[in-house]
Amino acid sequence: MDRLCVCPGNVPCGAAKSKRLKEEGVVLAQEGRHWEAVKRWDEAIQMTPENPLLYEMKSQVLTVLQEVFPAVQAAEMAVKLRPLWWEGWQTLGRAQLSLGEVDLAVRSFQVGLHLCPSERSLWLEDLAWARRLQQQRLAAWDRTQREEAAQREVLSAPELQQDYDFESDEVVAACATMAERQRRYEDLKRTAVVVDAEGNAREVTVEEEGSGDTPSSQYQLVKARGL
């Protein structure tokens, strides 16, 4: 039988090198050299593929790099290897948010809270953030539905189907009604949905976006935890 190669201290050589590569990756990530860090962790994973911490750290950095799909895959592997690790679920939720999977992120944060109810960042940052995005998405869907309905009213106005005596007041009234429909449609096109710090969704005009609440287009979805 082949003897297991061990380094001083009875530590398998592969595990020792993996640990060294992991630590090198942490230093590189802290210096902002993210791709180099990912490369180190990939090398470490080749030696110790059952180490969930390597996948979790890799997911964090990939999220920062906006490599969102690989980030989700790495985090999924982390929680698969260590399903009772709340930080793994937090990282998975953050990666899912960056991918746009808000409902999945909410579930991941809830699992993390179930495992560690005392972790305030999960309550106050992650889950609250994901729920605000849910509210924003619902409000945006509702606004889109109303805009489409307003557009249909403009394009197929019943007044256009009627014959009028052009010397009567009916023509004036019909034109006023059509103009009001067009105004409502134009007003809807100039609005955007924003969500305040309390999670309340509201519509603002484009001119208002620069004052007060942060518009939806400027939400920062990447909220990676420091290594």
Residues 39 and 72 in one domain: no
Distances (CA, A) of 121 to 27, 131, 171, 219: 24, 14, 62, 18
Q: pLDDT tens digits for 172-185? A: 666 666 666 666 65
How many helices (H) and strands (E) the chain has is answered by 9, 4
pLDDT of residue 184: 66
Q: Is the pLDDT of residue 225 over 70?
A: no
Residues 109 and 220 in one domain: yes
Domain count, the chain: 2
Residues 27 and 101 in one domain: no
Average pLDDT of the chain to the nearest whole number: 77
Percent over 90 (pLDDT), the chain: 46
Burial letters for 190-214: b for 16+ Cβ neighbours within 10 Å, e otherwise?
ebbbbbeeeeebebbeeeebeeeee
Q: What is the pTM of this model?
A: 0.64
Q: Is the pLDDT of residue 201 over 80?
A: no
* 154 — pLDDT class (breaks 50, 70, 90): low
Q: Is the pLDDT of residue 11 over 60?
A: no
For residue 126, give the nearest of 144, 154, 105 by alpha carbon: 105
Find tokens 């190669």 and name the residue.
5
Residues 126 and 86 in one domain: yes
pLDDT of residue 149: 66
Residues 111 and 180 in one domain: yes
Query: By CB neighbour count within 10 A (0-12 exposed, 13-18 middle, 19+ buried), where does 122 fall?
Result: buried
CA distance 58 to 124: 24
pLDDT of residue 88: 97
Q: pLDDT tens digits for 52-102? A: 999 999 999 999 999 999 999 999 999 999 999 999 999 999 999 999 999
Spatial contact of 78 and 48, defined as CB atoms under 8 Å apart: no
Residues 42 and 79 in one domain: no
Residues 43 and 87 in one domain: no
Find tokens 């809830």 and name the residue.
110
pLDDT of residue 118: 92
Residues 184 and 72 in one domain: yes
Q: Is the pLDDT of residue 143 over 70?
A: no
Spatial contact of 216 and 193, defined as CB atoms under 8 Å apart: yes
Structure tokens at 53: 């911490």
Residues 127 and 32 in one domain: no
Beta bridge partners of 202: 194
Give me the CATH number covering residue 169: 1.25.40.10
Residue 102 maps to a domain: yes
Structure tokens at 31: 């210096």
